[in-house]
Structure 1
Amino acid sequence: MVLPRKKDDISHELWEQCPSCREMVLKKELEVNLRVCPKCSFHFPLSARRRIDITVDSGTFFEKDAHLEPVDVLNFKDTKRYSERLREAQEKTGLKEAFLYGLGEIYGNPVVVGAFDFEFLGGSLGSVVGEKVTRAIEESMKTGRALVIFSCSGGARMQEGTLSLMQMAKTSAALARLRRHGIPYISVLTDPTTGGVTASIGMLGDIILAEPGALIGFAGPRVIKETIGEELPPGFQSAEYVLEHGFLDMVVDRRKLRDTLGKLLFLLYH
């Protein structure tokens, strides 16, 4: 005997509630709209692979160093072992690490493109993430392709201690070499981009873009508020606030981001 599914189960399969306007949106409609709410334009999270898929020209992406994965060299344990957290994150996302990169094209413009995946331990910057980011930068230097990185991270990975913090210097030094080669780097900040990623590769782009409403900062607003003991301005650390204060070049709706990148790359290449 087959029992009918509950109405709630069916509705969760078909609909998703927008956390901003609270409206129910058909999942199919949301996917077609690049996971941007059609009612209020709230930008839902995207996986790193989906981010790459909607950005590069179809069939042009070739992933590099997909086999690299972290090792628990410190035998770190908090409420559970770091090795267990890694295994769970790998099973959840299908990725070996929180960052993937490769070669591709955007409107025919050749690029090295990479993206963080927040579902993998908060997109945190560990030693393997730092190595893959550095290899992406070195690939740009080797091939002469512009570099595009989508950041989405909670910052340095605490389970790797100093090894994680070293990646800020390592990736920043690699970007300095890229700049000396005269190869452009476009940094795209998505929600959230905080901590060590903001303090390194996130804010070092020749052109820095962000998605609407993205949280961008070093320490979080709650920590800052408790430290200074004052109320923070409305919209503090939002992409729009950061743009207004001169730290971004543009805030671009996700539905226009591929077109914007294509135009920028055309200008940079020609």
Structure 2
Amino acid sequence: MSLEDWLLTKRNIKSGRTSKKESIAVAEGFWVKCERCALLMHDKALRKNSKVCPQCNHHFPTSSKDRIAQILDLNTWQPINNYVTSTDPLGFADQKLYGQRLVDMQNKTGLPDAVQTGLGQISNHPVALGIMDFRFMGGSMGSVVGEKLTRLIEVATYQKIPAIILCASGGARMQEGLLSLMQMAKVSSALQRHNQAGLLYIPILTSPTTGGVTASFAMLGDLIIAEPKALIAFAGRRVIEQTIKEQLPDNFQTSEYLFSHGFVDLIVPRTELKAKLAQILSLHRK
């Protein structure tokens, strides 16, 4: 897209005359429009700012690969259990066979499942890091996610280093039925042993963090951190309102609401997350 075309498109955006075709052209030309404040910015500038809008601080969705670059020191990432994949134990099928859905997601995202786990360093502090990726079936927690996180925590306990999990999930994976729900207890048990060893565990709640993930390891941290305006919930707003027969506040299930009620310890913007983690790790270093 030429500069003249971009300027014309930008004027149309401001005047509300942008067509769907022009919007697609902006996206293909690596220009991104903030969905909250409508600021138009270059994709490179957005990535340089950790995918956070410089005008309104809106946090764009980001991949696990980007998270690794944003949080860890350069060239310190060492993936573990990278090739653990689901075997479709139930032979589940809805609109598509679950086994085929897994293959499609793996081809689309380049990931074996909805979490990456590994070892790395944050400002020279060694950590065990798990990063959930919402692009893979909504970051749903199946048997592979639970197994990889459990193994990660066990490695952290054995090496006597802090464990950090970045949560982004729609909840338990329905295609694995009870097997997915069992992961809540399995990961929580590993965290209990990690805690008994006197080691630090920090969950970082990003948008969205919901369902069985919220009901287990996302809320079991020694220090719970959340990104600004992140959606954090167990059940949906409509389900809760219908159950209690009351209307909920507008900011219900946001990180700010949970912080004001004591469920979250810190709200940290993504651009400041690495520095804040480094500070916390230095305070807890033995």
Equivalent residue for 2:26, pick from 11, 20, 40? 11
Distance 1:82 1:224 in 2: 30
| SS at structure 1 position matched to 2:130 | strand
SS in 2 for 1:207: coil
Partner in structure 2 of residue 49 of structure 1: 65
Residues 123, 152 of structure 1: 8 Å contact kept? yes
2:224 maps to 208
Match of 2:157 among 136, 141, 145: 141
Structure 2 partner of 1:76: 92
1:249 has 2:265 as partner: yes
Q: Report the Cα offset of residue 80 of structure 1.
A: 1.1
Is structure 2 residue 178 aligned with structure 1 residue 162?
yes
- The whole-number CA distance in structure 1 between the counterparts of 2:101 and 2:241 is 30
> Which one of 44, 50, 54 corresponds to residue 28 of structure 1?
44
Closer, same or farther in 2 for the Cα pair 1:157/1:257, shift >3 Å?
same
- Which residue number corresponds to residue 127 of structure 2? 111
C-alpha deviation, 1:91, in angstroms: 1.1
Q: Which residue of 2 aligns with 1:3?
A: none
Corresponding position of 2:139: 123
User: For residues 209-233 of structure 1, what are the alpha-carbon distances to aligned partners after superposition, in whole Å with 9 as ceiling and x for unaligned?
Assistant: 0000101110021322233333211
Instruction: Return the match for 1:63 from 68, 71, 79.
Output: 79
In structure 1, C-alpha distance between the alignment counterparts of 2:168 and 2:271, rounded to whole Å: 18
Equivalent residue letter for 1:45: P
Could you tell me which runs of 5 or more consecutive residues in structure 1 were left unpaired when the two chains were aligned.
1-5
Which of 166, 173, 188 is residue 172 of structure 1 equivalent to? 188
Structure with bigger gyration radius: 2
**TM-superposition CA deviations, 1:31-51 (whole Å, max 9, x none):** 111000112110001111211
Among the aligned pairs, what percent are the same residue?
A: 49
Q: Normalized against structure 2, the TM-score is what?
A: 0.90
Deviations along 1:64-102, whole A, 9 cap, x unmatched? 010101111111011111112111111111000101111
TM-score, length-scaled by structure 1: 0.95
Deviation at 1:202, TM superposition (A): 0.1
CA RMSD of aligned residues (A): 1.2
Deviation, structure 1 residue 105: 0.4
Go from structure 1 to structure 2 and tell me whether the alpha carbon gap of 1:78 and 1:51 turns closer, same or farther (over 3 Å shift): same
Name the amino acid aligned to 1:213.
K
The match for 1:234 is 250
**Partner secondary structure for residue 135 of structure 2:** coil
Quick check: 1:52–1:114 contact (8 Å CA) kept in 2? no
Q: SS of the residue aligned with 1:152?
A: strand
Amino acid at match of 2:218: G
1:217 aligns with 233
Matched, 1:187 2:203: yes
What is the identity, as a one-letter code, of the residue corresponding to 1:139?
V
Aligned-partner Cα distance in 2 for 1:251–1:8? 33
In structure 2, give the amino acid aligned to 1:16: V
Cα deviation code 1:184-242 (max 9, x no counterpart): 00110000000000011100010100000101110021322233333211200100000
When residues 8 and 179 of structure 1 are mapped into structure 2, their CA distance, relative to the original with a 3 A threshold, is closer
- Equivalent pairs, count: 265
Rounded Cα–Cα distance in structure 2 between residues aligned with 1:110 and 1:184:
12
Bigger shift: residues 83-92 or 60-69: 83-92
Partners of 1:240 and 1:9 lie apart in 2 by 33
